[in-house]
Structure 1
Amino acid sequence: MLLDAAAAAFLTCLAAYATLDPPGPAFTGPVGVVWLAAAATGLPIAVRRHRPLPVLAVVTTAAAVATATGVIGLGIIAVSWFPVVLALYTAATAAGRVTSLIALAGALTAPAVTIPWLYTRTGVTSADAAASEVALWWQVELAVTVVLLLAAWTAGRLIRWRRSLQAEAAGRLARDAVAEERLRIARELHDIVGHSLSLIAVKATVANHIAEQRPDESRAALLTIEKTSRSALTEIRRLLDVLRADDDPAELAPSPGIAQLPDLVAGLGTAGPRIELDVDSAAELPVAVDVTVYRIVQESLTNVMKHADAARCRVCVRVDGGRVRIEVCDDGRGRRSPGRPGGQGLIGMRERVSMYGGRLSTGPRPEGGFRVAAEIPYATTEEAA
């Protein structure tokens, strides 16, 4: 990266300047040696993100050798260890806990050994510093270097910990999204397949019983079975196309809604309860709410066909003041599958209604029969604006 390359060049020049013009006695050897030592400690920083641990090992070794041989600025030794500080930070963010602790131990040991040894070998004291410069104490030089290294390592570990929390949160969001998508697909498949197969089963039973006595009605029931099975296959193919598509497919048929409720009732045929449909067809609903209303009515009618043994059924859909009210009543037995009180159909309806903060109530009617009532709030165009 350009930023790392610029940092490497800056640290190299800074280390060379600190060595050539330090507060204490300057290095008296060839200038080329100074630049070689500065390059050895600074230039590897350019690739610190790609090879954090090897870079840390190289710059730590180079800084330790430069310190031990005196190719360093006395009085501001910490400046020549800046590349080690940056490399240690990078290693702490990239490595695991044990590896980062080993890296920290190595980075601390190097100055702890070489800085006191340099002062002892050269015999430098505070008196060797100019009056306007800082005092020369190896304890201060070592303390500054150690504090910088510890701060860099701590910051790196904190950054790694924060990234770990963010990754866990992102993972949870991804898992929740997958679970929600599976639930949505399960609801759609249940609504499509459950309704169609239930209707096919009812019509097949009717056709079987009246095949000889009333052949015309039997043929009508078989025709309904054919249409229903074809419609179910079409909807399943449409759902699979949506799942396979990389983006939103533009040529899919529109999702069913209030406008398709008359077709839904007509598809049930005459071999069942007489269905009275009272729908506010002029209402304009958000697409998702429109589909939800359709699916709730569809599931309610499926249950009427399967369980109610009803003669009449009334479906009422009203839209008023940002709310959709749905009511499906029949005059049947007034109970639903006692062996399965928590069937997938009712669960699916509750999930759909709860997504919008709505309410769903189901149960027998006092005068006989069964009632499904739902209320779904939604944002109107004016409220959304």
Structure 2
Amino acid sequence: MPSSQGIAFPALLDVAAAMILLPLAAYAIFEPPLRVFTGPAWAAWATAALIALPVTARRWWPRAALGLSGAGAVAATLFGVVGAGVIWAAYVPAALILHRVAVTEPRRRSLTALAIGLLTSAAAVAHLYATLGIEVRSGSAPGEPTLAWPVEAGAIWVVTGASWAAGALVRRRRAAAERLSRQAVADERLRLARELHDIVGHSMSLIAVKATVAGHIAETDPRQVLPALAVIEHTSRAALTDIRRLLGVLRDDTASPADLEPAPGPDRLPELAERTRAAGVPVELEVRGADELPEAVGLSVYRIVQEALTNVVRHAAPARCRVRVEADGRNVLVEVADDGRGRGGAEPRGGGGHGGHGGHGGHGLIGMRERVTLYGGTLSAGPVPEGGFRVSATLPYEPRERLS
């Protein structure tokens, strides 16, 4: 709900507009080029109030205000209360209210209101001229309007149509902004869903590997079971924390990216490497110049390394692995290579995009390509001649100090 202060100022503007339009409507009765009204002054001012004062209610009851003001203007025209020459002045309040109707009401409804206003005003003007028997004549004095009902009706149509068109334009722009906002929310939720996929895929891979190891050595080497269980416990707790955080945002329609913890980036790569070492893959990590990466690029770097290390754990453990991240202010290079000496060294890998993951049909390589393509970068992934597997990605970026 809008605040009382947010409503008060526009309402005051409407009151001020009504106070300006009230004498304008009275002018159409008292001082027209051809005066028709001969009744008492109080009746003229009452008619002017009926036409102008509904403007004060246009923000709360736009349709009712439009009906009251428009009906008053048409009635004043039909009964000759307003004079020929400036009849359009009596329709300015209704035109202003119609602007609000065009902003707040559906297009079909506002178009209906516009059509009714145009037709009834033209019919009322034509009736007045026919009743008075006014001949078409041009103004004799400078600035005096031409007395002809099509001219009067045309002036009303211009004022009314312009007001409706302005309101319709405002409504269209607001609708476009709302669609963009909904699309931004949908994009953010899709990003969170992908993050959830990466977290679950990486964590469950480590847990599955260590659980398998613990099952094989439970009887032959019980001392190694506790370290394996410790890795499973740490990995599962970290994954559950991240999953709760992401699902909390997905369930909360009012949450924004600012409500999230900082997204993982290159500064969290040592922690990722340590978890991979605990899973049985020795990792050599080298990170240079990655401090000034934009947050989104840093997240992509982290996820690419995470997915590549997950592949190593699944298919090549206990192969040795080398991770290199180098940023030079224009491009960041991400390279993850293993020597392929483990149990899965001969298996096809790469995340399922090309039949990888030993036939499990994952989407790791596809996810990597999507992240890299998003920034106009390049990705290569495949076996190397000396043995092993290598993933190499290059992402262009603008340093954060140049973006700020």
TM bin, normalised by shorter chain, reads 0.7 to 0.9
User: Where in structure 2 are the equivalents of 1:2-81 lying within 5 Å?
Assistant: 2-25=12-35, 27-81=37-91
The alpha-carbon distance between structure 1 residues 364 and 6, as it changes in their structure 2 partners (threshold 3 A), is same
1:379 matched to which residue of 2?
398
| Secondary structure of the structure 1 residue equivalent to 2:305 | helix
CA contact (8 A) 1:313 1:328 kept: yes
Find the aligned partners of 1:230 and 1:9 in 2 and give their Cα distance.
Answer: 67
1:343 matched to which residue of 2?
362
User: Where in structure 2 are the equivalents of 1:74-223 lying within 5 Å?
Assistant: 74-96=84-106, 98-100=108-110, 102-122=112-132, 134=144, 137=147, 140=148, 142-223=149-230
Structure 2 residue runs of 5 or longer lacking an equivalent are: 1-10
CA contact (8 A) 1:318 1:326 kept: yes
CA contact (8 A) 2:231 2:278 kept: no
CA drift of 1:304 comes to: 0.9
Find the aligned partners of 1:114 and 1:266 in 2 and give their Cα distance.
Answer: 85
CA contact (8 A) 1:92 1:157 kept: yes
Equivalent in 232, 235, 244 of residue 225 of structure 1:
232
The alpha-carbon distance between structure 1 residues 362 and 78, as it changes in their structure 2 partners (threshold 3 A), is same
Amino acid at match of 1:31: A
Instruction: Give the greater-gyration-radius structure (CA).
Output: 1
TM-score (norm 1): 0.81
Amino acid at match of 2:73: A
Find the aligned partners of 2:140 and 2:16 in 1 and give their Cα distance.
Answer: 33
1:320 aligns with 2:340: no
Amino acid at match of 1:379: E
Find the aligned partners of 1:100 and 1:222 in 2 and give their Cα distance.
Answer: 68
1:368 matched to which residue of 2?
387
CA contact (8 A) 2:28 2:83 kept: yes
2:5 matched to which residue of 1?
none
1:279 matched to which residue of 2?
286
Find the aligned partners of 1:63 and 1:55 in 2 and give their Cα distance.
Answer: 12
Equivalent in 266, 269, 275 of residue 267 of structure 1:
275
CA drift of 1:206 comes to: 1.6
1:213-261 deviations in Å (ceiling 9; x for gaps):
22223333233223322333344345456666957469x6x65444443
CA drift of 1:200 comes to: 1.5
CA contact (8 A) 1:66 1:72 kept: yes
| Secondary structure of the structure 2 residue equivalent to 1:24 | coil
* C-alpha RMSD of the superposition: 3.6
Find the aligned partners of 2:111 and 2:290 in 1 and give their Cα distance.
Answer: 66
| Secondary structure of the structure 2 residue equivalent to 1:306 | helix
| Secondary structure of the structure 1 residue equivalent to 2:380 | strand
Q: State the number of aligned residues.
A: 379
CA drift of 1:144 comes to: 2.9
The alpha-carbon distance between structure 1 residues 88 and 199, as it changes in their structure 2 partners (threshold 3 A), is closer
CA drift of 1:94 comes to: 4.6
CA contact (8 A) 1:73 1:80 kept: no
2:337 matched to which residue of 1?
329
CA contact (8 A) 1:333 1:370 kept: no
CA drift of 1:374 comes to: 1.2
Find the aligned partners of 2:58 and 2:177 in 1 and give their Cα distance.
Answer: 27
1:359 matched to which residue of 2?
378
Amino acid at match of 1:367: E
Find the aligned partners of 1:378 and 1:149 in 2 and give their Cα distance.
Answer: 57
Amino acid at match of 1:351: E
Find the aligned partners of 2:95 and 2:266 in 1 and give their Cα distance.
Answer: 67
Stretch deviating more after TM superposition (99-108 or 16-25): 99-108
The alpha-carbon distance between structure 1 residues 2 and 231, as it changes in their structure 2 partners (threshold 3 A), is closer
Stretch deviating more after TM superposition (192-201 or 218-227): 218-227
The alpha-carbon distance between structure 1 residues 215 and 149, as it changes in their structure 2 partners (threshold 3 A), is same
Equivalent in 292, 299, 309 of residue 301 of structure 1:
309
1:259-301 deviations in Å (ceiling 9; x for gaps):
443443333346644x341403675233444443333222111
Amino acid at match of 1:304: V
Over the matched positions of the two proteins, sequence identity in percent amounts to 47
Amino acid at match of 1:335: P
The alpha-carbon distance between structure 1 residues 278 and 85, as it changes in their structure 2 partners (threshold 3 A), is closer
